Structures are given as C-alpha cells and as structure tokens.
Amino acid sequence: MDAELLARLRQVTAAIEAKKAYDLLALDVSGKTSIADAFLLCSVGSSRQAQAVADEVDRVMSQAGVHALSVEGYLHGTWILMDYGDFVLHIFQEERREYYGLERLWGDCPDITTLLRSPRP
C-alpha cells in the first residue's frame, strides 16, 4: 500500500474517531478485488451519528482535495457507503453491520487497522 493512500486512510480514521464511531476495522483488499485497495468499516449508534461521521469524513477529504466518487445510504443512515476509488468507507449501525457481516466476507484480507492509528501520547 502506497504512502499517499496510507496518509488518506489515517485522515479518515481520525475523522471517524473524532465523531465517536467505534469498532474500526481496516482491511487491505487489494489482493482480492479491483474495486478498491482498502475497506474501512466502523459502527455508530444512530442514523444521525452515521451522517455526522460521513459529513466529517467528507469535510476532511474535501479539504485534502479528495472527493467521494459516490455516496450511498446517507438519507437513511443505517449503512452509509462512501467510495473514494482506492478505498471504500462503510459506516454501519451495529445491527446492519452484524447482519451483512463484511468481516466474514473479507476476513481473509490483511487487517491494517493498527497502521492507521496515531500513537497516543
């Protein structure tokens, strides 16, 4: 995974954590699919929180000159998918995340979550 993508994923991780999303999981899917290099999954407690996370990610990425190719599910906020080309962010309400089980589908992909978190002082 190249340094530029890693830097963007770290920015997204910080934005997600700033809005108190939880259970972040980042997977390197580059060896399994051509649709993206990474998937990020996180959980939220409500549709309003899902929208707040999506808004914050959009704000941070827009400031960096990166814009989503598409956003799905924003209105209902139970599963928001933000496609940035080289990575896809999935913002789930917990019950949707459990139901669709993307971790099970992509579970054989390398977990890169620890690479994205800044060391805490």
CA–chain centroid gap for 85, Å, is 12
Chain-centre distance for alpha carbon 26: 7
Share of the chain above pLDDT 70, in %: 97
- Answer for the pair 39, 90: CB distance below 8 angstroms, yes or no: yes
pLDDT, tens digit, for every residue of 34-86?
A: 889 999 999 999 999 999 999 999 999 999 999 999 999 999 999 999 999 99
How does DSSP classify residue 97? H
- What does the mean pLDDT of the chain come to? 92
Give the pLDDT confidence score for residue 33 in this predicted structure.
84
Residues 49, 20: Cα–Cα separation, whole Å: 8
> Which of 18, 1, 35 lies closest to 112, judged by CA?
1
Domains of the chain from N-terminus onward:
3-116 (3.30.460.10)
* Distances 77 to 6, 7, 16, 112, 118 between C-alpha atoms, Å: 26, 26, 15, 26, 28
| pTM of the model as a whole | 0.92
58-67, pLDDT tens digit by residue? 999 999 999 9
